[in-house]
Structure 1
Amino acid sequence: MTAPKLPQPNLAQPKFRFAPSPTGFLHIGNARTALFNWLTVLKSGGRYLLRLDDTDRERSRPEYERAII
């Protein structure tokens, strides 16, 4: 059995993401992660993606989503 051929990643433009969960307001740990990823994007010429991980539907709130964006 042979392994399936996967597409090659575009290493010329790496992607970095910040994916907080909208279950509360951002804290210093979130800010540190967002800042480090953004600085890496600036240095590498990559792309920065903001993705809200709303997997905890019980605690996710629209006001937290708005505060993050």
Structure 2
Amino acid sequence: MNLEPAQTFQLVSLLAVLVLFCFSLRDKINYRRWFRQWEADRKARRDAELAAEAGESSSGDDAPKGPWS
């Protein structure tokens, strides 16, 4: 089986596009993983801030706590 120059060029081009697609897909997967981790960290920080604010505001006043007060 002999390949003509045009066929060889097409084969090389197809392989190059496949490699480019694989690198692009890998980058998108890594970005998605990073973004999800960043979002989870941001939510954890925000939840900690809200918990700290709630702790500060409720510890300062002497309001009755619970139905028995």
With the shorter chain as reference, the TM-score category is: under 0.3
Q: Which structure's residues are more often helix, by fraction?
A: 2
The answer to which structure, 1 or 2, has the higher relative contact order (CA under 8 A, 6+ apart) is: 1
TM-score (ref. length: structure 1): 0.28
User: Going by fraction, where is strand more abundant, 1 or 2?
Assistant: 1
TM-score by length of 2: 0.28
Q: Look at both structures and tell me which one has the larger radius of gyration over its CA atoms.
A: 2
